Structure 1
Amino acid sequence: MSVQSAEFAVAPLAPRSIASGGGVTCFILLAEHDVFLSGFDHDRDGHREGQSGTALLRGILQLSVSKNIKIKA
């Protein structure tokens, strides 16, 4: 898949700021409208036994930098 077609494969929802501070704002633009977490049980406050606690989100991570800063890995 080329870079151009990859851009159109993601249909992001309205961006929401998930973290900000020091002149940097972080957004996650989700590729899907609904996010399903396997193994999470709303009725029992936690995870089901034998299920992994990891999840996979598809989308774009966007950093908005509003002033000169150093970004370290």
Structure 2
Amino acid sequence: MAAELTIEQTSKLIDTVARTSSHAARDIALSTRFADDLGLDPQGLDKLYGRVQSEFGVTLADAQAGRLRTVGDLAEAIAGKL
């Protein structure tokens, strides 16, 4: 079974994504896609990953980050490191 974030951690992640993407948190779900739904380009993704690493105290390898397409993918990656 894959590791999962708590409700509080998921809310924190969505708030971080909202701040980085300038979208409302209420419009972001685990199925939200970074590029297609939020319009994040590579620089925006780098900024997001930096914030996530700082706020959650985890490190995302470049190869791992390159495979993340949705907020849910990122949540799973974070949960696997906590």
Asked if TM exceeds 0.5, the reply is: no
Higher strand content, 1 or 2: 1
Q: Point out the structure with the larger helix share.
A: 2
Task: Tell me which structure has the larger Cα radius of gyration.
Answer: 1
